[in-house]
């Protein structure tokens, strides 16, 4: 990270950074945890409560929200979006703005060595299995088995890799 990158980052003091983390310019990180050797691209936001394992790569323009856990060695392509609310609303029934107490964060887990292609959207409450691949532009609405390759909207299993 050079001095110019530091001018364009917003890394809150409550972020826990591992060793040798590389964060590029124009990022917004708060209340999250990043493991060792993580790389975070430009224009990435990682919210409070998100946990990023060791040796992950998060490409530019991605959004990792509260409740998301990436295990070790996960690849996140460009412009990947995670969602943590099944029924998002701006206001309550009485018209008052919703607060943190008015909704439930639904967690998502991405297992070790999974890869998520550019432009994918990952709905909340799913688990993406170890070594699975999510194709670019896919919308993941349900669990992805370990070693599976999924693609489409909604994402469907194209094949499952045989164990080595």
pTM of the predicted structure, to 2 decimals: 0.91
Q: What is the pLDDT of residue 78?
A: 98
Question: For the segment 46-104, what is each residue's pLDDT rounded down to a tens digit?
Answer: 999 999 999 999 999 999 999 999 999 999 999 999 999 999 999 999 999 999 899 99
Kindly indicate the confidence band of residue 8, based on its pLDDT and cuts at 50, 70 and 90.
low
Alpha helices in the chain (DSSP H): 3-7
Asked if 82 and 64 touch (Cβ cutoff 8 Å), the reply is yes
Question: For the segment 104-139, what is each residue's pLDDT rounded down to a tens digit?
Answer: 999 999 999 999 999 999 999 999 999 999 999 999
Q: What is the pLDDT of residue 11?
A: 86
Q: Is the pLDDT of residue 3 over 50?
A: no
3-class secondary-structure state, position 36: coil
Q: Which of 105, 103, 115, 120 is nearest to 149 (CA)?
A: 115
Q: What is the pLDDT of residue 161?
A: 81
How far is it, in rounded angstroms, from Cα 145 to Cα 66? 23
Kindly indicate the confidence band of residue 9, based on its pLDDT and cuts at 50, 70 and 90.
low
Query: Residue 16: beta bridge partners?
Result: 33
Q: What is the pLDDT of residue 113?
A: 98
CA distances from 17 to 38, 54, 72, 127, 142 (A): 9, 10, 14, 24, 30
Q: Which of 102, 145, 139 is nearest to 124 (CA)?
A: 139
3-class secondary-structure state, position 27: strand
Q: What is the pLDDT of residue 38?
A: 98
CA distances from 155 to 71, 133, 137, 138, 150 (A): 21, 11, 9, 6, 6
């Amino acid at each position: 990270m050079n001095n110019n990158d530091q001018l364009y980052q917003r890394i809150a003091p409550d972020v826990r950074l591992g060793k040798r983390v590389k964060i590029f310019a124009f990022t917004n990180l708060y209340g999250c945890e990043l493991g060792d050797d993580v790389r975070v691209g430009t224009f990435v936001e990682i919210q409070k409560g998100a946990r990023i394992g060791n040796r992950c790569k998060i490409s530019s323009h991605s959004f990792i929200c509260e409740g998301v856990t990436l295990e070790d060695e996960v690849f996140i392509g460009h412009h990947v979006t995670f969602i943590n609310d099944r029924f998002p609303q701006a206001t309550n029934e009485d018209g008052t703005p919703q607060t943190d107490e008015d909704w439930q964060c639904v967690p998502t887990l991405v297992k070790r060595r999974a890869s998520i292609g550019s432009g994918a959207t990952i709905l909340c409450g799913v688990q993406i299995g170890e070594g699975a691949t999510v194709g670019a532009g896919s919308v993941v609405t349900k669990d992805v088995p370990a070693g599976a390759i999924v693609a489409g909207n909604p994402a469907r299993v194209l094949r499952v890799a045989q164990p080595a």
